[in-house]
Structure 1
């Protein structure tokens, strides 16, 4: 039996660009919280995402602007509570999206 002395190489995914990170997170957040697709928003265009990034607008602020402008409601919350439920994304929502999409360290 011959054992190779060459170490096995494991392909490593190249680092995602900021636009690709936003696309993945937006896809998850829009679907999970609002029942929308990326194509339902201006963010289907890479240029729109890049402009937001260059302007220093956070992902949460970008989505929350859409929520406010189009009066979106969250579809991930069922029932009524004694507290009014806000339709806006929180930092916790972003962290959960990063975990769910495997982007926790980006």
Structure 2
């Protein structure tokens, strides 16, 4: 699984604390891909900080929830002969960063 840095450089330049960045991205990713709100263990800032301190990436943290609760992505459309993985990818995180204004346009 590909990972992203725990601290997002653009957010650091904007003066946003890493916990705030995680909350922004978690809110966007859970809503867009799973139809969920942030009412998970990650609604607690201390839990987010523990993950950051432990070096756990955002993608790994969300994908753990996906596996634990057998979440299904709602943004995959259509039927294919292959099973579609429910996990977030690096591309999903990058799209969320851009949507949240945490990344300069390319």
- How many Å apart are 1:79 and its aligned residue? 1.9
Q: Normalising to structure 1: TM-score of the pair?
A: 0.83
Q: Normalising to structure 2: TM-score of the pair?
A: 0.83
User: What CA deviation, in whole Å up to 9, does each residue of 1:25-81 have, x standing for no partner?
Assistant: 000000000000112x10000000000000000000000000000000001112211
Root mean square deviation of aligned Cα: 1.4
Kindly indicate whether residue 13 of structure 2 is the aligned counterpart of residue 19 of structure 1.
no
Q: Distance in 2 between matches of 1:104 and 1:57?
A: 21
Q: Distance in 2 between matches of 1:29 and 1:78?
A: 17
Residues 14, 95 of structure 1: alpha-carbon distance in 2 compared, 3 angstrom cutoff: closer
Q: Unaligned stretches of 5+ in structure 2?
A: 1-12
Q: Which residue of 1 aligns with 2:74?
A: 75
Q: Which residue of 1 aligns with 2:3?
A: none
Q: Distance in 2 between matches of 1:95 and 1:16?
A: 17
Higher relative contact order (Cα pairs below 8 Å, separated by 6+ residues) = 2
Q: Which residue of 1 aligns with 2:85?
A: 86
- How many Å apart are 1:82 and its aligned residue? 2.2
Q: Which residue of 2 aligns with 1:64?
A: 63
> What is the aligned length?
92
Q: Distance in 1 between matches of 2:72 and 2:97?
A: 21
**SS of structure 1 residue aligned to 2:71:** coil
